[in-house]
Amino acid sequence: MSSIRKLKSGKWQAQIARNGIRKSKSFTAKQEAKDWAAREEHLILNAKPAGETTLLSDAFIKYANEVSPTRRGERWEIIRLRKFSRDELAKKPVASITAKDIAEWRDKRLKEIAPASVRREMELMSAVFTVARTEWGLIGVSPMVDVRRPKTPPARKRRVAPAEFEALALSAGNDLNNTTARAYHAFLFAVETAMRAGEIVGLTWDAIDTKTRVAHLPITKNGLPRDVPLSTEAVRLIEALPMSDPVFGITSRQLDVLWRKLRDRAGVTGLTFHDARHEAITRLAQRVEVLDLARIVGHKNISQLMTYYDATAGEIAERLG
């Protein structure tokens, strides 16, 4: 609906209100005001919804620029969102994406990467569609709702054998001025504390109290701070390091590369750095109460501990006596 009125200044003001959109503009001539109002009403009434003109690639980049920086795992998200934006699927408008499109994309990715990785990518994609619906107004319903995720694979049950510790130590060497040796030292520290790789490489001296044997982690995976009690061995490990801040003097990327290199050189197969967390939780479960263990590792749900607790029936039988 439009209206034209004359102002005290002598100009003519056109006002329109259509589909929740309001506009106004002033002109010297009444006919100019009428023409403008008619043109703007036509554009509003015939405009395509934003979701029909915004490409999915643009939505991915917008999310990477505006949302990812506020989340943990920012770097991982941005890398994958940029990769998503180059996919054939991303050339379509957001509103035209169907569950069938997503299912076809999923099946293609399952031929390229592991089901667990596809599931993580689908969760990220789902987050983009959710924001596109709730905050950007691009769609009314997310196409991810009706798409089946790949099944979650069984939890890993990988422990570290004594012979593997020896082989890894030999491969890394004992000169802690060497980054490879510090990478293995970080693995040993993870076995003592159940800390994640990112938490370890980000550890600074001002966050450690060696007297009370506590390490403060200001930011963790779940976004909350956590205090980690340190065993005597954990304190010994960090005090053996050359003075550096952060404590281990290596980045996450360096740790990833160095770990793979020393592990392969040691002839150890199928062992990831994160498996140290399995080893640590299994060991700690024998020494502390379950509620204490949950607090140490930062799990709000105690059942999550079962993902990492890998004691064998033989070990349990030995404790039974």
Which of 221, 236, 253, 260 is catalytic? The answer is: 221
277 carries an active-site annotation: yes
pLDDT at 83: 93
299 is catalytic: yes
59-71 pLDDT per residue, tens: 999 999 999 888 8
- Could you say which of 133, 283, 295, 299 is catalytic? 299
**183 near 260, Cβ under 8 Å?**
no
Known active-site residue 119: no
Predicted pLDDT at 75 = 83
Domain 53-146 has CATH 1.10.150: yes
Q: How far, in Å, CA of 123 to CA of 129, rounded?
A: 10
Alpha carbons 224 and 58: distance in angstroms, whole number: 31
What residue ranges do the domains of the chain occupy?
A: 2-47, 53-146, 162-320
Instruction: Single out the catalytic residue among 80, 109, 277, 278.
Output: 277
Would you say how long the chain is, in residues?
A: 321
Percent of the chain with pLDDT over 70: 88
Least confident range from 104-118, 250-264, 273-287: namely 273-287
CATH for the 162-320 domain, from 3.30.470.20, 3.30.70.141, 1.10.443.10, 3.30.70.20? 1.10.443.10
Q: How confident is the model over 154-211, as pLDDT tens digits?
A: 777 788 899 999 999 999 999 999 999 999 999 999 999 989 999 999 999 999 998 9
pLDDT at residue 46 tops 60: yes
Of the residues 48, 83, 100, 274, only one is catalytic, namely 274
Angstrom CA distances, 197 to 111, 185, 194, 212, 252, stand at 29, 12, 9, 23, 7
Q: Annotated catalytic residue: which of 196, 226, 263, 278?
A: 196
> Closest by alpha carbon to 34, among 15, 20, 8?
15
Q: Catalytic site residue 196? A: yes
